[in-house]
Amino acid sequence: MASSPHLNRLHKEETAVSWNAYFRRYWQLYALLVLPLIYFIIFKYGPMYGIIIAFKDFNFFQGIVGSEWIGFEAFKEVFGMRDFYLTLRNTLMLNFLDLLVSFPAPLILAIMLYEMKVQWFKKLSQTVLYIPHFISWVIIGGIVYQVFGTQSGMINNVITSIGFDAIPFLTDKNDWLATYLLVGVWQSAGWGTIIYLAALTGINKELFEAAGIDGAGRLKRIWHITLPGLKSTIVVLLIINLGHMISIGFERPYVIGNLAVREYSDVLSTFVYRIGLQSGQYTLATVVGLFQAVVGLVFVLGANYTSKKLTDEGIM
């Protein structure tokens, strides 16, 4: 297009003026953004930059920049470590079993709460069931040792007092696994009901009345109305959980785990902590962390994609 130089200049001036006006009008909003953006750059993107030490022989004296490049040497070393596969297996195993046990629990509990007609008791039990969610893993760990301890734990006191042998809940790896899972249910089941109860408020009450007139019993109503009403919530939550298969919190396995059951309790997060911060093998630990982050990202994006396909609704 042939535009005269005069027109071009005018246009430029106009943009300059409007930019000026725009900025004068909005500078306060940009001023608000400054500190938060600095925060994101330093504390979120800084560590991302730090990932390059996975490809360097890192030590603190030479720093991130000064340390020597080693390419994929550290990856080779990590993928040759027995403990890497052990902790990877344990992470997947604990998460999978957790999903099996801890996923249905809030669903069942929510339906029981939904069916509870005695309002004061419903409120009371909700209040109690939510409490564990607010208790730190350190405290839960302390409670677990008092309750499940072999020598003086509450449960074993009962078991031995009726003449059976004490069960090493915390020191035998299979018993420990059961303990770990049960504690997970105890901690999360109550809180998990909230999302289901919210979804249940969306179910049309008339459906229940109609079913009642048709002579459908309570269990039938749960099966034919309540559960179908929760289907999309269940699917989305299941997919989110599958997306997090490889990521595992540090505190739960670290606090409940111990040396006697390390074969099961050592997971990727505790492995990173052990080789990184306790043994100072920063490069190796970063490689493990990077592996986990990348695989985790693929899982989550895959889960999000699947969720979109199935429910026309993304997770994010």
Partner 1 sequence: MREQTANRVFDTANFIVLLVCTLICLAPFLHIAAISFSSAGPILSGKVSLLPVDFNVEAYTKVFTDASMIRSLGFTVLLTGLFTVLCMLMTIAIGYPLSKKKLKGRKGIMFIVVITMFFSGGIIPEYILVRNLNLLDSIWALVLPGLINPFYLIILITFFNNIPESLEESAEIDGSSHFRTLLSIMLPLSLPVITTLSLFYAVGRWNGFTDTLMYINSPELYPLQLKLYQLIQNNMITDLLQMEGAQMATVVPESLKAASVIFATVPILIVYPWLQRYFVSGVMLGAVKG
Nearest residue (CB) to partner 1, 58 versus 264: 58
Determine contact, residues 178/265, Cβ cutoff 8 Å.
no
Choice between 92 and 295, CB closer to partner 1: 295
197 close to 114: Cβ distance less than 8 angstroms? yes
> Minimum Å distance from CB 5 to partner 1?
28
Q: Is the C-alpha dihedral spanning 255, 260, 266, 269 positive or negative?
A: positive
N residues, the chain: 316
* Radius of gyration of the chain, Cα coordinates, nearest whole angstrom: 28
Provide the strand spans (E) within the chain.
56-57, 68-69
Residue 11: CB minimum distance to partner 1, A: 19
Shortest separation between residue 22's beta carbon and partner 1, angstroms:
7
Shortest distance (Å) from residue 187 CB to partner 1: 10
Q: Where are the alpha helices (DSSP H) in 117-163?
A: 119-130, 137-148, 154-161
Half-sphere exposure of 315 (CA within 13 A, CB side): 21
Q: How far is CA 311 from CA 232, 234, 238, 242, in A?
A: 7, 11, 13, 16
Q: How far is the CB of 79 from partner 1 (least distance, A)?
A: 17
Tell me whether residue 3 or residue 28 sits nearer to partner 1 (CB atom). 28
Cβ proximity to partner 1: between 9 and 45 the closer is 45
Measure Cα distances from 71 to 61, 219, 283, 285 in Å: 20, 61, 11, 15
The two structure tokens encoding residue 88: 């990877």
Q: Which is nearer to partner 1, 1 or 34 (CB)?
A: 34
Could you tell me the smallest distance in angstroms from the CB atom of residue 156 to partner 1? 8
- 103 or 186: whose CB is closer to partner 1? 186
